[in-house]
Amino acid sequence: MTLSTPPASERARRYAADGVLRVDRLLDGSETDAIRAAFMEQVERDREVLGADDGLPDDDVLARFPRFMQPHRRPDLPAGALARRLMSDARVLDVVTTLIGPAYGAQSMFYFKPPSARGQAFHQDNYFLRAHPETCLAVWIAIDDCDAENGALAVVPGSHTKEVVCPEAADADESFTRGLVRPPEGTEPVQTVMRAGDALFFHGSTVHGSPPNTSASRFRRSLIFHYVPRSSVEVSRWYLPLVAPDGTEVTIAEAAGGGPCGDGWAGEAH
């Protein structure tokens, strides 16, 4: 199976069936060039201000190029201002609203994924965001052309109808994150091939992840947003405050305890 971009009138149906929707050319080349340049400038100047602490050893290439978390919360930085603006961009929100109705922005992330970087084992975003009573929705935008060699995203169509499960241990040689959710029985992963500016919109229970970047010289950068429906009554603390389309910050209750891993589970960042 390959994922194709349906006509706009087919988007909701395709998303309901597959749990993932591809929209090619969401951003144009001048925009992805500007995003790439702003984030590279930031990571070279000061990576700590936005970089996640993923507990990586200093000699891991991802310690030099950590994923950036919640850059939209730093609109004083050029990269943060871009993330903030794009989180509320009409082209993005139009699709988001078609799929899940009126929504709030909950998270922005930027992955650099340089050559030799490990990937991210299969997982489900609902495990982390815990937006209730609804699901979250991810928007994954390619900032470089990408394929299996440089670690493009792989998604599991149809897995969004299954439960959120408690992860098992991932292979640390392949994944910089620790949890692994296997594709449910009867489903198959699809390795995507995308151009810079193409986007995937996927359901919070859709199993997805990415292989290591085995290319010699091709970064695989991506800009990622997560949204929750405006009808959500709670979400994990890390995602608060949410951001309304007009930029207003909104706070709802914190989701805590329970979940697929039992009552002791206190939540963790994505």
Ligand X SMILES: O=C(O)CCC(=O)C(=O)O
Is residue 23 within a helix (H) or strand (E), and if so which, with residue range?
A: strand 20-23
Among 42, 175, 187, 210, binds ligand X (CB under 6 A): 210
In the region spanning residues 148 to 187, those forming contacts with ligand X, defined by CB under 6 A, are 153
* Encoded tokens for 244: 């309304």
Among 18, 125, 134, 198, binds ligand X (CB under 6 A): 125
What is the Cα–Cα distance from 76 to 189, expressed in whole angstroms? 39
**DSSP 8-state class, residue 146:** B
Among 223, 224, 228, 235, binds ligand X (CB under 6 A): 224
- The answer to the question of residue 209 lying near ligand X (CB under 6 A) is yes
Instruction: State which residue, 52 or 248, has the beta carbon closest to ligand X.
Output: 52
Total residues belonging to the chain: 270
Binding string, 12-51, against ligand X, x = CB under 6 A?
A: ----------------------------------------
Q: Which residues contact 44 (CB under 8 A, 6 or more apart)?
A: none
- The answer to the question of residue 208 lying near ligand X (CB under 6 A) is yes
Q: Which residue reads 């489900």 in tokens?
A: 124
- The answer to the question of residue 236 lying near ligand X (CB under 6 A) is no
What is the Cα–Cα distance from 109 to 234, expressed in whole angstroms? 21
Instruction: State which residue, 10 or 53, has the beta carbon closest to ligand X.
Output: 53
Q: Which residue reads 């859709």 in tokens?
A: 206
Cβ atoms of 219 and 114 within 8 Å: the answer is yes
- The answer to the question of residue 143 lying near ligand X (CB under 6 A) is no
Per CB under 6 A, residues contacting ligand X are 109, 111, 119-120, 125, 138, 153, 208-210, 222, 224
